[in-house]
Structure 1
Amino acid sequence: MKKCVMNVLFAVIWFVSWTGSALAADINLSAALGLKDVVTELSSEFEKKNRGTAFQRNFAASGALAKQIANGAPCDVYLSANVEWMNYLKEKMLVDAKTVSNFAFSQLVFVGKSSLHLKTLQDVVTLERIAIGSPKSVPAGQYAMEAIKSAKIDRQLENKLVMAKDVRECLMYAERGEVDGAFVYRTDAALAKHAKILFIVPQNYYPRVTFLMALTPSGSRKAEAAAFYRFLQSDEAKKVLIRYGFTVS
């Protein structure tokens, strides 16, 4: 009799724990590393307002995230730092094309030691080591490489570029003094404690830094993910983006 009661008790405990976890709605969120701080705040705020909803956050270079999704990694909401990787997933029908939209905008800047007195992109050729995100997967690196080529200094920098896995690693190299300077987003540069913005890369040298967002097919079918997507378009979310230094139009 005692054994029977214990079995029933264990069954009740298991059922309650299982239903509790089943009721919790997880949103798989993959976002470009340059959005880490602002998206963490926005998703945390959404969790507070929607009890029972939890995020599985994944931050990395946009290209790395896109390839993860293409290889089957779970994702409901994808935020990219450029059009190319969003189009990559759209062509594979791994994002809902109807939901692809602009999320925020930023600028490319060059950061380095405060003792440096660089004023133009052409001045970068005087340096020895320059960090840049790997253009193969890091949009910040792609923007930077386009600017370097437009300024016609690519040959002069050919053996001076230090490839980083993402934009935050570029900033870290500059912060530690492991390089003379680095190309990063203005919004990332705001996080620096030791490096400073030496100049803003002229916009005519590269396409505008555009962060995009979209729901994946699984996200489109998930009410909580769709609600979060709408929240990212709200005036409340835009105020947070502006506070972090992004522009929204």
Structure 2
Amino acid sequence: MTKILVSVVLLLLCIFSGRASAGDIHISAAASTKDALRQILDGFKKVRPGSTILTNFASAGALAKQIVQGAPTDIFISANPKWLDLVIKEGKGDVSTKQVLAYNTLVLVGKKEVNISSLEQLPELKRIAIGSPASVPAGQYAEQAMQAVGVYDGLVKDKKLVMAQDVRQALLYADRGEVDGAFVYKTDALLAEHAVVLLTVPEGLYDRVSYPMVMTGSGAAKDDVKALYSYLGGPEAKAILQKFGFETTK
């Protein structure tokens, strides 16, 4: 009897949770978009009241792997094309909806007393935080730049690189003074409480930082998702992105 009651309760929970979430909009977005995107979503809810939006912020690599494994997602915003293309390749993204949301710039932040004017001077620092290049786009861009000036292998050999799970964690290390410097995006640097921008990484040293986005197959079938996707490319969203330091298309 007890087993029957438990089974009934579980069945009812599944039914009602399914009903409650049927109209939810699921967004998986790169960690560096968190503050701007939350403000954009607040604006969308005003023009489309009643929308329930569930957000998942993490490194683009981690999100892509979750989506491929079946995590509920209607819109995916990556911090580089690589992970978004993986989602499309695996049949989870609708390639016809792919577009670029915004662009960003890579900077080095850290303690204000650190005196550095070029990446060639990085070996003079003791600890440098970067997002893990295995899954964090900001870390991949940072690795590109350090490889370009010939300091990356030496920093790895001397164990001076501190790997962060996403770009926001790298910023946190710098803000707490736990590292001398950290590679983050310009938009993240604007949110720092203590760390300052030590230098802007020359753009020719790494691929342009773009934020491509795509609707999943399930997302493209929902009217609310399509409305939000259109809103993300509209003037209100672009104004907010620019306020947070992103570059946008006209």
Q: Is TM > 0.5 for Structure 1 vs Structure 2?
A: yes
Q: Deviations over 1:163-205 (max 9, x none)?
A: 0000000000001111111000000000001100000000010
Equivalent residue number for residue 12 of structure 1 = none
1: distance between equivalents of 2:31 and 2:48?
25
What amino acid sits opposite 2:100 in the alignment?
N
Aligned counterpart in structure 2 of residue 63 of structure 1, from 53, 61, 64: 61
User: CA offset at residue 47 of structure 1?
Assistant: 1.4
Equivalent residue number for residue 118 of structure 1 = 116
Gaps of 5+ in 1: 1-17
2: distance between equivalents of 1:96 and 1:34?
23
User: CA offset at residue 43 of structure 1?
Assistant: 1.1
What amino acid sits opposite 2:230 in the alignment?
R
Count of aligned pairs between the two proteins:
231
- So what's the TM-score if we normalise by structure 1? 0.90
* Bigger Cα Rg: 1
Name the SS for the 1:25 alignment partner.
Answer: coil
1: distance between equivalents of 2:238 and 2:164?
30
Following TM superposition, the consecutive aligned residue runs of length 4 or more in structure 1 with deviations greater than 6 angstroms are none
Q: Is the 8 A contact 1:23 1:52 kept in 2?
A: no
Q: Is the 8 A contact 1:130 1:180 kept in 2?
A: yes
Gaps of 5+ in 2: 1-15
User: CA offset at residue 155 of structure 1?
Assistant: 2.3
What amino acid sits opposite 1:35 in the alignment?
T
Q: How does 1:1-249 map to 2 (within 5 A)?
A: 25-158=23-156, 159-249=159-249
User: CA offset at residue 116 of structure 1?
Assistant: 1.1
Residue identity (%): 46
RMSD over aligned Cα atoms: 1.5
Name the SS for the 1:211 alignment partner.
Answer: strand
User: CA offset at residue 121 of structure 1?
Assistant: 0.9
Name the SS for the 2:24 alignment partner.
Answer: strand
User: CA offset at residue 71 of structure 1?
Assistant: 0.8
User: CA offset at residue 52 of structure 1?
Assistant: 1.4
